[in-house]
Every structure is written in C-alpha cells, then in structure tokens.
Amino acid sequence: METSEAKTKTTLRTDPLTPLASLQAGVWFKLICGASYQDLPAVRNLALAYALAGADCIDVAADPAVVAAAKAGLAAAERIANGPNFSGSYRRPWLMVSMSAGADPHFRKAWFDPANCPADCPRPCEQICPAAAIAFDAQSSGVIRDRCYGCGRCLPVCPLGLIEARSYPTTLNAIAQQVLSQADALEIHTQVGQQAAFERLWQTLYPQMGHLKLISISCPDGEGLISYLTELQRLICSTATGPTLVWQTDGRPMSGDIGRGTTHAAIRLAQKVLASGLTGYVQLAGGTNQYTALKLKELGLLNSRQVGRTAGHTTHQTVAGIAYGSFARHLLMSVIEQTLYLEEDPHTLWKAVELAESLVGPLKAVMSSR
C-alpha cells in the first residue's frame, strides 16, 4: 500500500526557485503566522509544513520566542529535506519579522473576565475564534493570550459586550536587535497618517538592517494612500538601497478564511498600488485565500513584466506574489494540533504538507502554465 510519505515525495516540486527568483517570476508565496500570533508549537509546525511545501517566506511576530519557534520549524524542515525519505529539491524560505509603526490592530489582543459570563451563555465567542484562543475548561478559562492574534472577530459577538481589545504591550525597539539579527527580511506595518511613527521606527531599525535581503511595507487602504506610500518610498530609498522592497497591500486584514469575497478587496488594493508606479514589488495580503491565485490569473495580474527601475528598485504592472495568513493557518490547524512536533508523526506531517501544497501549488503552477 502506498504510504502518505511516499505520495508526498512525488508531489513536491523538483526545482524550487530561490525566494528572490520567485518574486521576480511573480510566484512568491509568503506564510503570515501573524504579527501577534504567539502559539509557539503552532508557529513551529506551520513553518515546518509550509517550508516543505515550497513557501518562499515565513513571516512571524517580532518576538524572540516566536522567532526561535519558527527557526526550529525551519531547521526540522531542512533535516527532513536532507533525509532519505525526501526525493524533491528543497531550499530554505526566508524568515521575516513583522513590526508595527504606531498603533496597529495587528498588535492587540482580546480580553474578558470569564467570571462575568452567565452559565447559560452559548459562548459564540468560543465558536467564532479561528485560533481556538477562547476556552472554558479545566485548564484555562477566557482568552488564551498566546494564541490570540487580535483578529477582533469575538468582540462583536458577545451579547453582553464583555470582550474588549487591549493593546499588546510591545517593546519592539528594545527587541529589534535580537530579532533582526536572526531574520532575512523585515516587515513594517503602517497606516496612512502614521508617517512620524514610521520615521521614528525606521531611524531606530535602519542601522541594524545591513544584512537584510528584503523590506516589506504593509499598509491597508486609506484616503491619501499613494501619497503616503510615496513619502515612505522616498525615505526608504534615500537610506537603504540594498534590500529588495515589497509593498504588501493589506486588502481586508485578517479575513481570508471568511469567504470568497475577501479576495476581491485584496486584489483591488493591489491594482491601485500597481497603477501608482511606486517602485518595488507588489504583493497581496489581507483577505487572500484559495481563490486568490486563480482570480489573479484570470485577470492577467500574475506574471513578471518589469516596467522600470528607479534608485535600485523595480516597478511592475503585475503582482509579485501572495501572502496568506488566517486562511493558511486555518487550513492546517486541525492537523498540526495533533502533535507537538510534527516530524515525530510522519503520517500527520505529510498530511499537513499536502494541505499546505494545496495552497502553495496553484500559485507556483502559474509559472509552468505560461
């Protein structure tokens, strides 16, 4: 009988592009673990499964413990790729850390006092949470802080209005040196109107960026978006000419697992930034899911027609890739929760890798179908 392990060997790609080549070819796949996601075993297992499935980048919170968990997952992936049961080619994805300039909803967490919950409440909060971060059992009651990634879905469903969002007390500047030294790439989350906060963070981080291969700026839509990004571009290009620049268009933040429609918001925002002629690559996020690659392909937005070069950066007419967050995590969650160290259970490991490939594959397949 064919084992799940043997099956996987035949489905893995045989000539993976380097992460930079994937960007250039318009097939860059990034896994977003979440800027506030601190479930360490889940981060480790997600990094492991998506690395083996061919992801180009693993994006994690700028937290030393989370970075260590992701690195452990990548090290496990490398050991497996070099082992006897792996016949495909493997290259290590880049590790990205995400930081926030100014107030950012990615860095909040839900909170409530479970002592105030009526015994007969049907607990819609527990049911709606995509991260299983709300529990009422013997081990924990209320919000499990390390699992909550601040999506906010539980806030409106409480009939008594007991759930509130609390600011996550980040000490990003203090830990920047520690996490940046271990990363290949940096992402800064910002919003229109936060230029002063962005500049303060940029000045702090810039001296520690020399080794980075890529800088991503993540921004949702807003009035004056293009002017704002143009100002950020001016600042970035005046100080850093080495790393590749990516605009992460955060269409509908943290919503990809809600349904098909969320992908449209992500695509519309990407089109707006592409049309602006900003230098650098454009990569979708925020609402991305299993429909996104297909939709981009239908629209002719997935290829690599380079249109110009300014101050060491390129401009494009089409997107360079897709980042997947809540949808990608949700896809694997029921499988990776079965074991603390995925590689210790080969059947579960390869099941997780196959699921991850079901998301990575359609984007990578665009290249072979050109």
Determine contact, residues 287/265, Cβ cutoff 8 Å. Answer: yes
Query: Token pair of 179, please?
Result: 């996490």
Across 99-113, b (16+ Cβ under 10 Å) vs e yields bbbbebbbbbbbebe
Contact (CB, 8 A) for 312 and 281: no
Instruction: List C-alpha distances in Å: 9 to 1, 63, 139, 179, 328.
Output: 15, 34, 39, 34, 22
Dist CA 370 CA 359 (whole Å): 19
The single residue among 32, 58, 61, 154 that binds ligand SF4, judged by CB under 6 A, is 154
CA distance 231 to 195: 8
Minimum distance between the CB of residue 122 and ligand SF4, rounded to whole angstroms?
7
Task: Pick from 60, 134, 236, 360 the residue near ligand SF4 by CB under 6 A.
Answer: 134
Nearest distance from C-beta of residue 4 to ligand SF4, angstroms: 30
Q: Among 15-23, 131-139, 198-206, 255-263, which window interacts with ligand SF4 (CB under 6 A)?
A: 131-139
State the nearest-atom distance from the C-beta of 321 to ligand SF4, in Å.
25
Q: Tell me if 285 contacts ligand SF4 by CB under 6 A.
A: no
Tokens of 241: 């000419």
State the nearest-atom distance from the C-beta of 31 to ligand SF4, in Å.
17
CB of 155 to ligand SF4, least distance (A): 7
Query: Encoding tokens for residue 30?
Result: 């990034």
Among 41, 88, 102, 124, binds ligand SF4 (CB under 6 A): 124
Q: Is the Cβ of residue 160 or residue 307 nearer to ligand SF4 in the bound state?
A: 160
Residue from the set 158, 219, 225, 278 that interacts with ligand SF4 by CB under 6 A: 158
Kindly state the smallest distance separating residue 163's Cβ from ligand SF4, in Å. 5
Residues 6+ apart with CB under 8 A from 160: 116, 117, 118, 121
Nearer to ligand SF4, 162 or 353 (CB): 162
The residue within the footprint of ligand SF4, chosen from 33, 53, 80, 110 (CB under 6 A), is 110
Q: What are 96's strand-pairing partners?
A: 59, 185
Stretch of 6-14, 160-168, 203-211, 301-309 lying at the interface with ligand SF4 (CB under 6 A) = 160-168
- Shortest distance in whole angstroms from residue 121 CB to ligand SF4: 3
Closer residue to ligand SF4, CB minimum distance, 34 or 243: 34
β pairing state of 313-316 and 306-310: antiparallel
106 vs 313 by CB, closer to ligand SF4: 106
Nearer to ligand SF4, 53 or 60 (CB): 60
User: Whose Cβ is closer to ligand SF4: residue 123's or residue 295's?
Assistant: 123
How wide is the angle at C-alpha 176 spanned by C-alphas 47 and 45, nearest 5°? 10
The label of the residue with tokens 């969320």 reads 262
Instruction: Check residue 149 for interaction with ligand SF4 (CB under 6 A).
Output: yes
Terminal C-alpha separation, the chain: 36
Judged by CB under 6 A, the residue of 133, 183, 225, 353 near ligand SF4 is 133
The angle, 0 to 180 degrees and rounded to 10, between the axes of the packed helices 64-81 and 40-52 is 40
Instruction: Judge residue 369's burial from the number of C-beta atoms within 10 Å of its C-beta, 0-12 exposed, 13-18 middle, 19 or more buried.
Output: exposed
Interface residues toward ligand SF4, by CB under 6 A? 110, 112, 117, 121, 123-125, 128-129, 131, 133-134, 143, 148-154, 158, 160, 162-163
